[in-house]
Structure 1
Amino acid sequence: MTTGPITSRGDRPFGVIEPSPAAFGVYVHIPFCSVRCGYCDFNTYTADELGDGATRASYADTAISEIGLQRRAFSDLPEAETVFFGGGTPTQLPAADLVRMLSTLRDTFGLADGVEVTTEANPDSVTPESLAALREGGFNRISFGVQSAVPHVLATLDRTHDPANVPQAVKWAREAGFDQLSVDLIYGTPGESMDDWRTSVEQAIALQPDHVSAYALIVEQGTAFARKVNRGEVVMPDDDETADKYLLADELLGAAGLSWYELSNWARDATSQCRHNVLYWHSDNWLGIGPGAHSHVDGERWWNVKHPAAYAQRLAAGESPRHDGETIDTETARVERIMLETRLRGGLGLDALSPSATVTIPDLVSRGLADVAADRLVLTLRGRLLADAVIRELVD
C-alpha cells in the first residue's frame, strides 16, 4: 500500500491511504449470531433459523470448498493485501475454524507481505485463549462491536453483551498481540440522550483504540425495529439531534487524536485506517466467500445465494454458489465513484464529474459544503453532515 497526500489536524500529519493499482482483498462472511438484533438486516441467522443443511460445525469446511472453487476460477489474481472476516459474529465459530479458513486463503491465493487480517467480534464471544489462537494463526486486527456503553441503549438495540466486559475483552486482545484494534459505535437509538452518547464515545476513547467507526442508526424496512417504528412504539430522533451527535463524536475523537478519513470512520494515523474498507471505497477487486457475499473483479460484480443451507447444498454438489451478477458499465462506475470517493477525506477527483455537474461546484463552495484543492472536491464539516444531499447534487 502507498501513502498519498498528507493533510493535517493541527500539527499532527495525517496520511490518506491510496490503494495500489493491483489492490485485492477477500471478504469471508460468517452468518451466525447468538441473537438477531432488531435493527439488523444483514444476512445473519441464529441456530433456530438455520434449518437442515447448514451448521456451525460444518461451516468452515463449506467455506473452504468455495475458496478452492474461486481459486480455480481466478488463477491470475495477485496475493491478497487484506482479508476481512465479518458477519454476523465470526467469533461465534471456534478460533481454530477461523484460522483454518485463513490458512486456506494463504495456501491458495497467497497473502501479501504486511497483509491486514481483520475479524469482527462481540466482546462476550472471546476469551484470552481464543484471541491468542487467532493472533497466532495470522489475524492482526480486531473490530469489537460495542455499539453503546449504556445498558438501556443496548437493550433497545437488542444487544446482549455486558458493557462492563468490554475493557476486559480489549485488554485480552492487546495482550494477545493484535496490531490494530477498532471499536464500532451506533448513535441515534431511540431514547439515547446526548449524555448517553457522550458516555459511549468517552468510554470508547478510554479503551485507547486505533480506530473507531460510528454509524447513525438506520431503520431498515423488514426488520423488527422498523415494525416498532411503524407502530409508533419507538420514535427516532430528528435530524438535528443526529447531526449534533455526529459533531460531538468528531469533536471528542479529534481531541483524543483520532482523525476522520471517511464519514463514519476515524483513525490514529494512516496505518490505522481499515485498509480493507479503503479497498471497497476505491472500487478495487475483492472476492466474497460465504452465503450472500458479494464479489467485484475487473468491472464484474456478483453475489452468492443468501441462505446458508442453499449455499452448503450447492457446494456439496460441486456447484458454484453464485446467485446473480452484473457488468458495471462506464456510467455506473462513474456514479459509484462519486458516491464513494466524496465520503473520503482525500475527496473526489473532479475528473469524475460530468460537464453539467461542474457548475455545481462553486455553489457547493459558496454554501460552505465543500472546498476544492489539487483538483479534488473535499467536504467541509458542514458538508459531511449533508453528504447525501451533496452527492445527489453531484450525480444529478
Structure 2
Amino acid sequence: MPSVLLDGDPVPASGELPASALEGLGTRPFGFYVHVPFCATRCGYCDFNTYTAAELGPGASRADYARTAVEEVRLARRVLGDAELPVQTVFFGGGTPTLLEAGDLVSVLRAIDSEFGLAPGAEVTTEANPESVDPASLERLRAGGFTRVSFGMQSASAHVLAVLDRRHTPGRPAEAVREARAAGFGHVNLDLIYSTPGETDDDWRASLAAAIEAGPDHVSAYSLIVEDGTRLAARIRRGELPMPDDDVAADRYLIADAMLAEAGFSWYEVSNWAVSEDARCRHNLLYWTGGDWWGVGPGAHGHVGGTRWWNVKHPAAYAARLSEGVSPAHAREVLTAEDRHVERLMLQLRLDTGFPLDEIHRDARPAVARALGDGLLDPGPFRGGRAVLTLKGRLLADALIRDLT
C-alpha cells in the first residue's frame, strides 16, 4: 500500500458503512484482502506500507498479528450484518505474509470462513518471497485451505536482484515453485519486474525463460516504477543509476508478450498472463470488475458498494484501535456515479474482455474513433460493441484511458 495516507471523510468508531454501500450487498462478488505488513528487509524500490523488525517499535509484533487481524474479521461481520456473503476470494499480501507462521495465516483464513463462509471452490492466495517458505510451510498452508501462491521472483539476474535489494538467489524461485507443486498447489504465480537500471534485453529474456521453465501457470510482469522516498529514487537522484527509459520498457513488454505467448500463456490483463482461464487470478479480477472486498490490516483498503476506506498505517495504532473495540479505518470516501464509471473504464479497458462502447461518454467518442484508426483497439470486438486493446493499445493503455475519461 502507498506510504501516504489519503484525505477523506471520517469513519464512525463502529466502522458502520453508509446505507448506500449496503444496497445490493451479496449480489456482487465478495472477497477479503489481508495485509501482512512485515518484511525481513526493505527492498530499495518499495514504498508499500511495510515494516522490518527494527522499524516496528513498541505496541506491535508479528507474534500477535494474526489475533489482531481476526478481530478485524469479526468487526467486518458486525458491520456487514446478516447478509449472506460467501467469500469467493481471499488474498494475503504484503509485505511478506509468509514471515508469519503458516498456522497464523491459516487461523485468519479460518476466522473468515467461520464468520462468512468460504464459497465452494474459493480461491485463497498468499504472496511469498522464495526464501520465506520451505516444503513444510507450504504443506501446512495447502492443508489449511490455501489454493494459490504468488512468488516474488522479479529477475533471474544476480546483478538486477542486487539493484532491487532482493535477497534470494536467482535459482531459488524455481525451487519454490517445485516445492509448491509438490505440496499440492494447483496454481502458482511468478511476479517479474522489467526495466531495472542495468538490466539488458538478454537479462530480461533470461528471466522470462527461467520463469517459464519453472512451471507456473500464471506470470505477472510489471515495469519498474521509481517511487519518491525510496532508496532507489535517491540513488537515481544522486546519479548512481539511470532512470528507467519508457521506450526500453515498451520493448521489454513486447519481448515478454512474445515469449509468454510462445510458451502457451495468454494475456488477460495488461500486466498478467495465464495458461488457462482457470489459472487467472480471480481475486484481482474481483477488483478489476467492481466487486466488494474487505481489507484487513494496517493501511489496507476496502470497498463495498461504492464506499472505499483505508486503515491506519502503523501496526501499533491498528492493534490499539481494535483492542479498544474501535474500527481501524482512518478515512473513507463515497464514490459518485461518475467516479465509479471512470474507475470501471480505467480497470476494465485493461482486460482482454474490454469495455462496452455504449457506456463510453459521448464526448469521448472522437477519441474512440482515433484509437481505432491508430490501431489501439481491436476491430473485431469493436464491431461487437466492445473496446478491446490491441498489443499496440496495451503499450499505450494509460494514455488512451486518459483520452477516454
Normalising by structure 2, report the TM-score: 0.91
Name which of 388, 392, 395 aligns with 1:378.
388
Residue in 1 that maps onto 2:224: 217
| Match 1:253 to one of 246, 256, 260 | 260
The answer to whether the Cα contact below 8 Å between 2:38 and 2:52 also exists between their aligned partners in 1 is yes
2:326 is the alignment partner of 1:316:
no
- Is 382-391 or 71-80 further displaced after alignment? 71-80
Tell me the distance in 1 between the aligned counterparts of 2:353 and 2:285.
11
**Superposed displacement of residue 166, structure 1:** 1.9
Equivalent in 96, 101, 121 of residue 94 of structure 1:
101
Shift in alpha-carbon separation, 1:127–1:383, aligned structure 2, 3 A: same
Match of 2:35 among 18, 29, 33: 29
**Which of 143, 147, 152 is residue 154 of structure 2 equivalent to?**
147
Residue matched to 1:72: 78
One of 319, 341, 355 as aligned partner of 1:334: 341
Length, aligned pairs only: 376
Shift of 1:351: 2.9
Q: Counterpart of 2:282?
A: 275
> Are 1:184 and 2:191 counterparts?
yes
Q: Does 191-200 or 225-234 show the bigger shift?
A: 225-234
* Corresponding residue for residue 345 of structure 1: 352
Which residue pairs with 1:57 in the alignment? Answer: 63
Q: Verify: 1:303 aligned to 2:310, yes or no.
A: yes
Per-residue CA distance 1:262-286 (angstroms, 9 max, x = gap): 0000001111000000000012100
Higher relative contact order (CA 8 A, sep 6+): 2
Determine the structure 2 residue equivalent to 1:5.
none
The answer to whether the aligner puts 1:231 opposite 2:241 as a matched pair is no
- The aligned amino acid for 1:36 is R
State the one-letter code of the partner of 1:367.
Answer: D
Q: How far apart are 1:169 and its partner, in Å?
A: 1.3
Distance in 2 (CA, whole Å) between partners of 1:201 and 1:208 is 11
Matched, 1:170 2:174: no
What is the one-letter code of the residue matched to 2:347?
Answer: L
CA RMSD of aligned residues (A): 1.0
Judge conservation of contact 1:22–1:78 (CA < 8 Å) in 2. Answer: no
> Is contact 1:81–1:116 with CA below 8 Å preserved after alignment?
yes
Q: Does residue 1:38 correspond to 2:44, yes or no?
A: yes
CA apart distance, 1:167: 2.0
Distance in 2, matches of 1:109 and 1:40, equals 33
Stretches of structure 2 lacking an aligned partner (at least 5 in a row): 1-25
Match of 2:398 among 376, 382, 388: 388
Report the TM-score, using the length of structure 1 for normalisation.
Answer: 0.93
1:21, distance to aligned residue in structure 2 (A): 5.0
> 1:77 deviation in Å?
4.9
Give the whole-Å Cα distance in 1 for the aligned partners of 2:358 and 2:345.
Answer: 10
- The AA in structure 2 aligned to 1:346 is T
* Percent of aligned pairs with the same amino acid: 58
Identify the range of structure 1 (106-115 vs 75-84) with the bigger mean alpha-carbon deviation.
Answer: 75-84
SS in 2 for 1:163: coil
Task: Report how far residue 317 of structure 1 moved.
Answer: 1.3
> Following the alignment from structure 1 to structure 2, what is the Cα–Cα distance between the partners of residues 164 and 365?
43
